[in-house]
Structure 1
Amino acid sequence: MSEAGKAGAQAASGPAQDFRRISAFLDAQAAEAGSARNTLLAYGRDLRDFADWMAGHGLSLQIVSRDDIEDYLGFCDAQGLSRATRARRLSAIRQITRFAQSEGWREDDPAVRISGPGRAQRLPRTLSRDEINAMFAALPQVGRNPVERARNLALFEMLYATGMRVSELVELPVASCRGNPELLLIRGKGGKERMVPLSPPARRALTAWLEQRDNAGGDSSFGKLVEGRGARWLFPAASAEGHMTRQAFHGLTGQIAAAAGIAPDRVSPHVIRHAFATHLLEGGADLRAIQTLLGHADLGTTEIYTHVLDARMRDLVLNHHPLARKGADGGNDADENDKKDGEEDA
């Protein structure tokens, strides 16, 4: 489209109109696709960035072309955004241009044939069983009082016992956790529900936490919180939602890691979820059972944990087998391989 044509179309469809269309798209995703809140927030952030870029270039959703979108992706690359972030932004753009065509805002879909940067095949970070045990041993050191220590133990036990997403854990209603349950009903992404079993240690920690939670005095700050907006949540907190936030739990796992002598930047609630899946697979669990427990819609997502095991087995052989440590020519083949792997990772 010519510059004059673009300017004319932009006059009828400016940035404010684009933001209204993005809002309509997000509403449709929530209502029709059942997209989770965090997914909608990610879409919103990415599309706002795209809309701001379009506004700065005299463009809008109504007239943006394939070349324009590719220019935007080049702009994202020049900013140093990762391949995963650029792939996610292109995915959001594809969703809204398809929606724009279906709503009659434009006749074509300019993003349909754009090939994305793809995602780097990166194995999920995880922790060994010894590291998980060290974190359990360090738990009594984290927390200012018995109430906090009981809460921390329940959080950590339930996370490692179930592999729940952190949002699923902190948003558990207290009503669903009473009666010493052997199974918990979890509402996951897109409102999909699944049952996860609780291990005996997790059930004991949950029972101890409920006792502390229920007996908190109304005169204490925590007691007032439980009786107020935090009343419905298993893990109440002074947040806008009334429950512990994902960010607060992330900080807590860092504190526990530090107390256990593990670098805090290696640990997050999601890393513990990975450890749950990896340790189950190491123990001989069926991949489809792990898929169900994690709430993965696609078995291919779960299969990444088989690659984690392959990497661990390879490391075990290269670093502990006596013949692998010394090649036939007297050199150290394992060290050379490790060096090459490090260069590839860099």
Structure 2
Amino acid sequence: MSKTRATKPRSPSLTTTENDPPFLTEFRIAMLARGLSTRTRNAYIRDLRLCGESTDKPLTDWVERDILVCLSYLQGQDKLPRTQARVLASLRQFFLWQIAEKKREDNPCEHIKNPKVDKPLPKTLSETQVTNLLNSPDISTILGLRDKAMLEVMYACGLRVSELVNLSLEQVNLSAGWLQIVGKGNKTRLIPLGEYAVKALESYLSCRHELLPLAKADCQAVFLTEQGGYMTRHNFWHLIKKYAQIANINTNISPHTLRHAFATHLINHGADLRSVQLLLGHSDLSTTQIYTHVATARLQSLHEQHHPRAEQS
């Protein structure tokens, strides 16, 4: 693990296009002008490169048949329907850009249907499992206090992991009990912290200075590494795996599992979808709607397990 100290939030590196055809570089620049994130632009470039492996024909000259050949090629490479659908979406964006630039008049993806993608319910945790997870860090140590605060904030606010590790001191208002989060698309939202998260943050912040190198108090990250810099997504991924093991949680969980638990438990306790959508920072209500299915599935499971007239397997 790197011992370098990051005094600014870590960002993904931009995919290089030195060996790519010029149109890919032009497309990436156009996506930058649209304000798309580095991660999204990298994903587009990766998908379009993958498409290029299916034929020697330049992407700019593709017609509908070439796209069908590409999808067949991906299927032959055992790519999942979800990957195929994502690649098709990238192609659509590429050809829409070509049309906007008057480099072509048609979108060869127009009449091609998305591969059928099963949408599995997101993995979540029971409230008891979450409680055990949140109680796992050893709060007699500074790193334990930090980890406890991170887990409490993650669950209390339903943050994305990037929002958590990039959280800065100026975004936290403990006296009011709010976080000001800048999420996807640079959209700002206010999220209440709740009593437990506030207490955990206060305990950690009271000794946060112990993680700052002497005479180098310039890092504004709330959650510091042992070197006094910003944490990475991978740092927190390893932490949550460690604490899940301590909490005897045998299912395979990730940082996003706590975000799922946040949304599911809110809906279980009567929160309306619109409020949950605002808290999660979803641009589309249909994205939030999946959590109603999670809650329904949970209720059905409880009914089958405990009702005397339920069918026993």
Which of the five TM-score ranges fits, normalised by the shorter chain? 0.7 to 0.9
Partner letter of residue 197 of structure 2? A
Partner residue of 2:292? 306
Secondary structure of 1:62's match?
Answer: helix
Partner letter of residue 216 of structure 2? E
For the 8 Å contact 1:225–1:236, the answer to whether it is kept is no
Deviation at 1:94, TM superposition (A): 0.7
Q: 1 or 2, which has the higher helix percentage?
A: 1
Higher mean C-alpha deviation, range 103-112 or range 183-192: 103-112
Cα 1:185–1:20 change in 2 (3 A) is farther
Partner residue of 1:97? 95
For the 8 Å contact 1:125–1:274, the answer to whether it is kept is yes
Partner residue of 1:135? 133
Partner letter of residue 172 of structure 2? C
Partner residue of 1:248? 235
Deviation at 1:278, TM superposition (A): 0.6
Match status 1:120 vs 2:118: yes
Higher-RCO chain (CA-CA 8 Å, sequence separation at least 6): 2
Distance across 2 between alignment mates of 1:63 and 1:16: 21
Deviation at 1:178, TM superposition (A): 5.5
| Aligned residue among 92, 108, 111 for 1:110 | 108
TM score, norm. by length of structure 1: 0.79
For the 8 Å contact 1:83–1:119, the answer to whether it is kept is yes
Which is greater in Rg? 1
Deviation at 1:16, TM superposition (A): 6.9
Cα 1:249–1:96 change in 2 (3 A) is same
Partner letter of residue 291 of structure 1? Q
Partner residue of 1:219? none
Partner letter of residue 27 of structure 1? I
Partner letter of residue 84 of structure 2? R
> Which whole-Å deviations, capped at 9, do the CAs of 1:8-36 have from their partners, x for residues lacking one?
xxxxxxx979543223223322322x323
Cα 1:132–1:179 change in 2 (3 A) is closer
For the 8 Å contact 1:19–1:48, the answer to whether it is kept is no
Secondary structure of 1:227's match?
Answer: coil
- Over aligned residues, Cα RMSD in angstroms? 2.3
For the 8 Å contact 1:25–1:99, the answer to whether it is kept is yes
For the 8 Å contact 2:63–2:108, the answer to whether it is kept is yes
> Which whole-Å deviations, capped at 9, do the CAs of 1:90-127 have from their partners, x for residues lacking one?
10111011111221333322222211103212111100
Written as runs of structure 1 = structure 2, the 5 A alignment for 1:260-299 is 260-263=247-250, 266-299=252-285
Distance across 2 between alignment mates of 1:91 and 1:24: 18
Deviation at 1:247, TM superposition (A): 1.6
Match status 1:35 vs 2:30: no
| Aligned residue among 14, 24, 27 for 1:25 | 27
Secondary structure of 1:29's match?
Answer: helix
Cα 1:140–1:17 change in 2 (3 A) is closer
Cα 1:147–1:188 change in 2 (3 A) is same
Distance across 2 between alignment mates of 1:198 and 1:204: 10
Unaligned runs of 5+ in 1: 1-14, 217-221, 326-333, 336-346
Secondary structure of 1:138's match?
Answer: coil
Partner residue of 2:224? 236
Unaligned runs of 5+ in 2: 1-16
For the 8 Å contact 1:18–1:61, the answer to whether it is kept is no
Higher mean C-alpha deviation, range 149-158 or range 174-183: 174-183
